[in-house]
């Protein structure tokens, strides 16, 4: 099938490359000429394991192309995806749909023949209705259907998630459009990925509900971790004890410094705003968002406490800056609030990250960057594990202790066993363990 992907950011580029790898003919469109030039030269705008090779292979085989103008690609396409950004809107927290609406208008002017227009961007309930209205207003003569097909990709594992999904959700009001989407995803048939066809509004809400539920699990175990520290329990054992219950499951029960990234913060906020507008508030999600925001700053206070109650004039080494490993994404990363809290308390911050330094420089000020964990720790008064990159999971603790001015480790991801770190001479603090 011929596919046009409007937007070549994280979702659009990964999805477009994977569809091309299935054998479809895909054109990825983006307004940014520099991004398109980089993609044509084989340079990725994001870090995602395996993406560069996937893109290169499909470009070489003629199934994947890039352009700044959508006219030709949309006119030739049977399926057109909208995969543009929907950031939180300044001032009120609602999802900013201006890019979605602009894409719909451009698509309307270019479509030719029956076309399925698919919203891949994460959007509030009712957005598909508005996209349909915009296209119909621009092109009363057009033969088209608007479908919702939310993405459920984890950064750092997006390609595998796309090719081996738990489910494919298709929100369609038109049987013909639903059949087109089934054909598009037919290559996944051998993986037995279930295709759930719902109404369009149901599909839109499913995405928000999924992310809000996962964010709730993270926030729940973080609060249990705080309780564990007060009563002398071990949060990792608690998480195993409840996670072995099939009704609960073990995923997203890892205590840490709070969630960040491109999805959970903005999607929980957008769901809260949607629910308030519908006069059906989601109190649990409201609390989850508030608790998570507070937790990030609290992790800075945790570091200060581990350093004896003051970090003024001290040098603090942070290992990891991105919101999770295997990505360069700094959006709403806990490290941002932690760095700010430490700097506000008078600390000098030095940091390292395998992939996120360039992005970190755009959002963090007055931070010194080191090439690796050992260089980062040299002469520091404490070392803090913020992101659980593999590079930080098996450090030479004796060497690390010798490099530090004072052997203090704050492990915000519970990477190490307390007895192991203390045996190396460290004063050690972790999350939900004593």
152 and 299 together in one domain = no
CATH number at residue 275: 3.40.50.720
Mean pLDDT of 44-65: 96
Query: In which domain, by residue range, is 45 found?
Result: 2-198
The DSSP H or E segment spanning 29 is strand 25-29
Instruction: At 80, give phi and psi (nearest 5°).
Output: -120, 120
For the residues 2-16, what does the mean pLDDT come to? 97
The answer to whether residues 269 and 161 belong to one domain is no
In this prediction, residue 92 has a pLDDT band, given cuts at 50, 70 and 90, of confident
Residue 52's pLDDT band (boundaries 50, 70, 90)? very high
Say yes or no: 301 and 184 in one domain. Answer: no
pLDDT band at 387 (very low <50, low <70, confident <90, very high): very high
Q: What's the whole-number mean pLDDT along residues 124-152?
A: 97
55 vs 40: CA distance, rounded Å: 10
Two structure tokens written together for 113: 């023949």
Please indicate, yes or no, whether residues 54 and 143 belong to a single structural domain of this protein: yes
Within-domain flag for 71:
yes
- What value does the mean pLDDT take over residues 380-390? 98
Report if residue 207 sits inside a domain.
no
For residue 240, the model assigns a pLDDT of 98
CA pair distance 48, 14, nearest whole angstrom: 9
Verify that 27 and 152 share a domain, yes or no.
yes
DSSP 95: B
Write the Ramachandran bin of 156: left for phi over 0, alpha for psi from -120 to 50, otherwise beta.
left
Burial class (CB in 10 A: 0-12, 13-18, 19+), 90: exposed
Q: Are the beta carbons of 355 and 387 closer than 8 angstroms?
A: no
pLDDT at 189: 80
What pLDDT does 169 receive? 98
Residue 22 burial (CB count, 10 A): 18
Query: Are 416 and 315 members of one domain?
Result: yes
In a domain, 194, yes or no: yes
Same-domain pairing of 193 and 277: no
Closest CA to 318 of 339, 347, 290, 341: 339
Could you say which of 18, 228, 263, 376 is catalytic? 263
Q: Give the C-alpha separation, 73 to 381, whole Å.
A: 56
Residue where a domain stops, chosen among 165, 198, 231: 198
Same domain? For 192 and 280 the reply is: no
Show which of 198, 218, 245 is a domain's final residue: 198
DSSP state of 28: E
Task: Supply the pLDDT for residue 192.
Answer: 81
> What's the CA angle centered on 84, arms 78 and 86, to 5 degrees?
135
Phi, psi (degrees; rounded to nearest 5) at 428? -125, 135
Give the pLDDT band of residue 91 (cuts 50, 70, 90).
confident
Query: For the chain, what is the domain count?
Result: 2
- Contact by Cβ (8 Å): 17, 7: no
Residues 193, 321 within the same domain = no
Instruction: Name the more confident of 189 and 254.
Output: 254
Residue 234 lies in a domain: no
Domain assignment of residue 251, yes or no: no
For the chain, what is the mean pLDDT? 96
Instruction: Please report whether residue 258 resides in a domain.
Output: no
pLDDT of 228-238, one tens digit each? 999 999 999 99
Q: Over the stretch 96-108, which tens digit does the pLDDT of each residue have?
A: 999 999 999 999 9
On whether residue 216 sits in a domain, the answer given is: no
pLDDT of 339 higher than 80: yes
Quick check: is 245 in a domain?
no
Looking at the fold, whether 274 and 180 belong to one and the same domain comes out as no
Within this chain, do residues 271 and 136 fall inside the same structural domain, yes or no? Answer: no
CA angle 160, 161, 162 (to 5 degrees): 90
Is 263 an active-site residue?
yes
Residues written for the chain: 434
Q: Is the pLDDT of residue 193 over 90?
A: no
Of 181, 198, 215, the last residue of a domain is: 198
Instruction: Verify that 164 and 20 share a domain, yes or no.
Output: yes
CA triple 264-226-88, angle to 5 deg: 20
How many helices and strands (H and E) does the chain possess? 17, 14
């Amino acid at each position: 099938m011929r596919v046009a992907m409007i937007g070549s950011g994280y979702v659009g580029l990964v999805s477009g490359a994977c569809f091309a790898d299935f054998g479809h003919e895909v054109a990825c469109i983006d307004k940014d000429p520099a991004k398109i030039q980089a993609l044509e030269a084989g340079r990725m705008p994001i870090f995602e394991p395996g993406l560069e090779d996937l893109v290169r292979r499909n470009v070489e085989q003629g199934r994947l192309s890039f352009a700044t103008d959508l006219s030709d690609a949309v006119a030739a396409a049977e399926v057109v995806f909208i995969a543009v950004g929907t950031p939180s809107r300044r001032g009120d927290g609602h999802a900013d749909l201006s890019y979605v609406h602009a894409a719909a208008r451009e698509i309307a002017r270019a479509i030719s023949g029956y076309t399925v227009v698919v919203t891949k961007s994460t959007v509030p309930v009712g957005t598909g209705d508005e996209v349909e209205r915009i296209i119909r207003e621009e092109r009363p003569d057009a033969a088209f259907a608007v479908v919702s097909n939310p993405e459920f990709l984890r950064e750092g594992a997006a390609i595998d998630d796309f090719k081996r999904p738990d489910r494919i959700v298709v929100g369609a009001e038109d049987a013909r459009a639903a059949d087109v989407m089934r054909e598009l995803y037919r290559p996944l048939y051998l993986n037995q990925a279930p295709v759930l066809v719902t109404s369009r509004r149901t599909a839109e809400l499913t995405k928000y509900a999924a992310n809000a539920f996962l964010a709730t699990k993270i926030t729940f175990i973080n609060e249990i971790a705080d309780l564990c520290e007060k009563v002398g329990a071990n949060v990792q054992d608690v998480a195993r004890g409840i996670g072995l219950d099939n009704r609960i499951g073990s995923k997203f029960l890892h205590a840490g410094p709070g969630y960040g990234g491109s999805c959970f913060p903005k999607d929980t906020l957008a769901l809260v705003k949607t629910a308030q507008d519908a006069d059906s508030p989601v109190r649990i999600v409201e609390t989850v968002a508030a608790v998570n925001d507070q937790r990030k700053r609290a992790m800075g206070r945790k570091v200060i406490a581990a350093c004896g109650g003051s970090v003024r004039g001290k040098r603090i080494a942070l290992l990891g800056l991105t919101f999770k490993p295997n990505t360069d994404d700094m959006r709403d990363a806990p490290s941002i609030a932690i760095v700010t809290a430490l700097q506000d308390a008078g600390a000098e911050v030095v940091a390292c990250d395998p992939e996120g330094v360039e992005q970190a420089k755009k959002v963090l000020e007055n931070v010194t960057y080191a090439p690796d964990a050992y260089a980062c720790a040299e002469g520091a008064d404490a070392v803090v594990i913020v992101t659980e990159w593999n590079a930080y999971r098996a450090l030479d603790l004796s060497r690390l202790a010798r490099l530090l001015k004072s052997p203090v480790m704050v492990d915000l991801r519970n990477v190490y066993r307390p007895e192991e770190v203390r045996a190396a001479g460290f004063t050690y603090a972790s999350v939900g363990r004593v």
